[in-house]
């Protein structure tokens, strides 16, 4: 449990947010061209990093906007929060 600095609303309790998992997984441009292996990679395979991870969060019980976050999963420390479409910061 931790505090999240929503880029739209400011600092709020984590229980107001839902996590959308790993960020920057790009939806395939031409889904019909994909092999089964590529589909599996896109749908299921995750880095699941112990350490600094880039992920998507949604302020579900607030502004309901999506944004990205850089968090260390080994200690839940948040390094950066940035809006969708912005370039991921170097951490």
Q: Which residue in 41, 65, 81, 82 binds other proteins (CB under 8 A)? A: 41
- Is residue 80 involved in binding other proteins (CB under 8 A)? no
- Is residue 61 involved in binding other proteins (CB under 8 A)? no
Cβ within 8 Å of residue 44, ≥6 positions away: none
Cβ within 8 Å of residue 85, ≥6 positions away: none
Judged by CB under 8 A, the stretch of 23-31, 38-46, 83-91 that binds other proteins is 38-46
- Is residue 46 involved in binding other proteins (CB under 8 A)? yes
Q: How far apart are CA 12 and CA 2, in angstroms?
A: 9
To the nearest whole angstrom, how small is the minimum distance from the Cβ of residue 63 to other proteins?
19
Query: How buried is residue 8: exposed, middle or buried, by Cβ count under 10 Å (0-12/13-18/19+)?
Result: exposed
Judged by CB under 8 A, the stretch of 26-34, 36-44, 82-90 that binds other proteins is 36-44
Q: Which residue in 3, 5, 10, 73 binds other proteins (CB under 8 A)? A: 73
Q: How far apart are CA 20 and CA 57, in angstroms?
A: 5
């Amino acid at each position: 449990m931790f505090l999240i600095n929503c880029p739209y609303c400011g600092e709020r309790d984590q229980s107001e947010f839902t996590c959308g998992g790993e960020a920057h997984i790009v939806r395939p441009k031409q889904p019909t061209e994909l092999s089964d292996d590529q589909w599996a990679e896109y749908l299921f395979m995750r880095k699941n990093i112990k350490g600094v991870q880039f992920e998507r969060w949604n302020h579900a019980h607030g502004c309901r906007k999506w944004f990205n976050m850089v968090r260390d999963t080994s200690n839940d420390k948040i390094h950066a929060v940035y809006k969708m479409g912005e370039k991921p910061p170097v951490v």
